[in-house]
Structure 1
């Protein structure tokens, strides 16, 4: 797995980046569309959906961001996205009140080919 150095050292949230995350529960593709909008695509499983949401990203250190949003369903999401280490830590409360704690590998996708970078 290879994270572009620009993301690993980023001091601003990397707009335009596309990345996949594999959790035990499901996998998701995230596209950072702008400084405040992200689209996620969960293709399979009980949480399957595609949605664009407004988010807030806070720099913790270069390549490490705290990212939060609220989905249309009312689900709340808090991510720690570590581009330097290629890990994402997610905490979410879904509409039925279930609290999820998840961790997974973060893989940047080559947007020219829509394949993982290696």
Structure 2
């Protein structure tokens, strides 16, 4: 399923975490931590396998599991620039976050 995310980079900012998301293919994404707060190290980059579901035009649910065992699910509203992110870390802690998502300017 080709979608509008593929081949594009976005900046996600949920306050405690700021990342660049690069949607490489329908099934893979590379994220780079710009600011990690207490959640992760600045500069951490990882390629993850993703599941992407289009909820409606310009709204996607994106889910993945990281090498650390952390699981992440986003609802990304690209029309309104809003992101909802839920993450469960390997230690069992659970985070619900809301913030912004915007295309990365070239």
* Fold conserved between structures, TM > 0.5: yes
Match for residue 91 of structure 2 among 76, 96, 116: 96
Which one has the largest radius of gyration?
Answer: 1
SS at match of 1:43: strand
Q: Distance in 1 between matches of 2:35 and 2:3?
A: 31
RMSD over aligned CA atoms reads 1.4
Higher relative contact order (CA 8 A, sep 6+): 1
Structure 1 segments (4+ residues) deviating >4 Å: none
TM-score (norm 1): 0.80
Structure with more strand by fraction: 2
Structure 1 runs not aligned, ≥5 long: 1-10, 114-118
Alignment of 1:2-81 (within 5 A): 12-45=3-36, 46=38, 47-48=40-41, 49-81=44-76
TM-score (norm 2): 0.89
Write the deviation string for residues 28-84 of structure 1: whole angstroms up to 9, x where unpaired. 110001111101011333312210000000011000011100001110000001111
- Report if aligned partners of 1:13, 1:59 keep a CA contact under 8 Å in 2: no
Structure 2 runs not aligned, ≥5 long: none
Q: CA deviation at 1:23?
A: 1.1
Q: CA deviation at 1:17?
A: 0.9
How many residues align? The count is: 101
- Report if aligned partners of 2:3, 2:26 keep a CA contact under 8 Å in 1: no
Q: Distance in 1 between matches of 2:81 and 2:13?
A: 11
